[in-house]
Amino acid sequence: MSKYEKGKIVTGCVTGIEHYGIFVGLDEYYSGLIHISEISSGFVRNINDYVNIGETIHVKVIESDDETCRVKLSIKDIDYRIGKHKRQKIRETARGFLPLKEHMNEWKQEILTEMKQR
């Protein structure tokens, strides 16, 4: 029987973030990966919107290999946050990208002027 059984919710520490997933340390021997497809049911634009390195989170075990001490993990469909530091999804304002559009020409002119002065 594996130390980390399939379907079990365990606690781990985020040790790394890559464009393809989140690395989690479970104990002194076992580590796991939360593949980007196991982060959310929706589109994941930026993994850093979900976790920070050093953060302790809950993870669900998908598969465990005792020979390599590697575990496939998921945070999809579970409450993975610990404590009261739960993040809220950023909501777009009604104006959206309008302020960017309004100021873009002004900012470009400032940069061009700055470049000419060099």
Q: What is the pLDDT of residue 86?
A: 54
Write the single-letter amino acid at 35: H
Q: Residue 52: which domain range? A: 9-89
Write the single-letter amino acid at 73: L
- Could you tell me the CATH number of the domain that includes residue 82? 2.40.50.140
- This prediction's pTM: 0.69
Phi, psi angles (nearest 5°) of residue 63: -160, 145
**Tens digit of each residue's pLDDT (9 = 90 or more) over 7-60:** 999 999 999 999 999 999 999 999 999 999 999 999 999 999 999 999 999 999
Asked, for residue 82, whether it belongs to a domain, the answer is yes
Contact 59, 73 (CB under 8 A): yes
Asked, for residue 107, whether it belongs to a domain, the answer is no
**Please, which residues have CB within 8 angstroms of residue 68's CB and are 6 or more apart in sequence?**
none
**Tens digit of each residue's pLDDT (9 = 90 or more) over 25-40:** 999 999 999 999 999 9
Q: What is the pLDDT of residue 85?
A: 55
Q: What is the pLDDT of residue 46?
A: 94
**Please, which residues have CB within 8 angstroms of residue 44's CB and are 6 or more apart in sequence?**
36, 50
DSSP 15-65: EEEETTEEEEE-SSS-EEEEEGGGT-SS--S-GGGT--TT-EEEEEEEEEE
56-65 and 70-74 strand pairing: antiparallel
**Tens digit of each residue's pLDDT (9 = 90 or more) over 62-113:** 999 989 999 999 999 999 988 655 555 666 778 888 888 898 999 999 999 9
Write the single-letter amino acid at 110: E
- Structural domain tally of the chain? 1
